[in-house]
Structure 1
Amino acid sequence: MSLYGNVVDEPSPPHGDGQQVLVVAGDPVDSELVSTTLELAGYRVGTAGSGAEGMVRLSRQRFDLVVWDATLRENAYLAWGRRVAPADRPPLLFLATCDSLPGLVPELGREREDYVTKPLRVAEMLARVEMLLRRRRPQRPSGRPRHGDLILDDATCQARRGARPLGLTPAEYRLLRHLLANAECVLSKEQISRHVWGEFRAGEAIEKLVSRLRRKVDREEPALIHTRRGFGYWLGRADL
């Protein structure tokens, strides 16, 4: 209310849109508070009670964001995150104590990692979660993604090679889009699997998907999709 009794509009609190969030916390009280708060705010939440359990969940399921208790002894997320391609690494919000900040803050990466301190303030935590997820949302590029005569249209989820439409399935389109976004870089089967299906699938499933996509894309020369044996697949020049 203002001094004159008029109602003052306040901004709506941050809320989710069904994004998947993993909460890794050893203290059941913290875990319950964070997970309940996020669920009420519109997020879908998974939980883990230890760092080891959290890493297992991350290896089996794709999450949009991770909330990680910085007081856990098995604080392996940062080391794991440095080995994973940015596109496949969910942003991270640490739950920290004030005395842990001097060692934690220098390790945080720009844009993709942040922290809130205990005791938790719900409004601040929700604001940090929403900010990290907003930073992760890809900006719509000007024009259409392309590599040579290979052109994708994200508005219609269609692709063509020169004038020839490719007629891709949704999984094939997601795979080609991922390869194009990481052109000239080798992507492992695990990275591809998580991006295409949101979970890890056997290597045979990846091989069959790549084979189908290659038959559609590489009818013309030069071939664009290549295999680096023992490592994965990449899109681009054959002399990589």
Structure 2
Amino acid sequence: MKLLIADDDPQMVRALRITLAAHGYEVITAADGAAAITTAAQTHPDIILLDLGMPKMNGIEVIQALRGWTSAPIIVVSGRTGSADKVDALDAGADDFVTKPFQVDELLARLRALARRTAPAAGESTVSFGDVVVDLSAKAVTRAGARVHLTPTEWRMLEHLCRHPGALVTRQDLLKEIWGSEQVSDSGYLRLYMSQLRKKLELSPAAPVHLLTESGMGYRLVL
């Protein structure tokens, strides 16, 4: 499970990285609020640990920005003990609040609880939007019950979006996923494949409601 730690305390980050990595988590870090948003968009973490008092953007602003495109669980880890801070964080979209200093066992328990809450049910491997059903295991797509043929590239693009529903998927992510390199030049290929997907899967391809373009950034699948 991929974990993003956003905190400007290098000692805290180092201790958490060592401890959580030892428990099987893949840990990535960010040292300020702006970096937290950028890193989350690039790496799509499963859970986010976020300090409230960071430079450039405070924790509340980061939560609000993240909630604009991701539903990944957010645990606020903060030295602030006031109830107002906790309420503000939860109202902004945080899922849990841990006050520093804390016991590692408590944090691990909360991480496990959030992972259970957000994990798909055993055997669940389908994503549905509109009259479309995408079976990720069978690599099959149906629309209104009829099989839809996708090219291999169209499938890889759709599959990647389906594995991150609601999240912004950047052009760089898609280029790396489809062609295996972030260095591949996008000469309109992504727009072409997205246009084809919309023709096959959207009720009105010219006015899509599920396969959306985020101008200058990438694409988003809205269920």
Out of 158, 167, 182, which is 1:173 matched to? 158
Farther off after superposition, 27-36 or 206-215 = 206-215
Which residue pairs with 2:97 in the alignment?
115
Which residue pairs with 2:76 in the alignment?
94
C-alpha separation between the residues in 2 aligned to 1:198 and 1:113? 32
Farther off after superposition, 120-129 or 132-141 = 132-141
Shift of 1:192: 4.1
- 1:209 aligns to 2:193 (yes or no): yes
Per-residue CA shift, 1:142-185, capped at 9, x if unaligned? 9984644x443344120134544414534243267479x77xxx
Partner AA of 1:166 in structure 2: H
Shift of 1:37: 1.2
C-alpha separation between the residues in 1 aligned to 2:109 and 2:66? 23
| Distance change in 2, residues 1:126/1:205 (3 Å) | farther
| Distance change in 2, residues 1:205/1:175 (3 Å) | farther
| Distance change in 2, residues 1:53/1:234 (3 Å) | closer
Q: Is the 8 A contact 2:136 2:159 kept in 1?
A: no
Give the alignment's TM-score, normalised by structure 1: 0.64
Identical pairs, percent: 23
- 1:24 aligns to 2:1 (yes or no): no
Which residue pairs with 1:78 in the alignment?
63
The correspondence of residues 55-70 of structure 1 with structure 2, limited to 5 A, is 55-70=37-52
C-alpha separation between the residues in 2 aligned to 1:175 and 1:234? 10
| Distance change in 2, residues 1:44/1:172 (3 Å) | same
User: Aligned to 2:77, what secondary structure does the other structure show?
Assistant: strand
Give the alignment's TM-score, normalised by structure 2: 0.68
Partner AA of 2:78 in structure 1: A
| Distance change in 2, residues 1:48/1:173 (3 Å) | closer
User: Aligned to 1:131, what secondary structure does the other structure show?
Assistant: helix
Which residue pairs with 1:4 in the alignment?
none
Partner AA of 1:159 in structure 2: V
- 1:131 aligns to 2:119 (yes or no): no
C-alpha separation between the residues in 1 aligned to 2:147 and 2:8? 54
Partner AA of 2:4 in structure 1: L
Which residue pairs with 1:6 in the alignment?
none
C-alpha separation between the residues in 2 aligned to 1:99 and 1:213? 49
User: How many correspondences in the alignment?
Assistant: 201
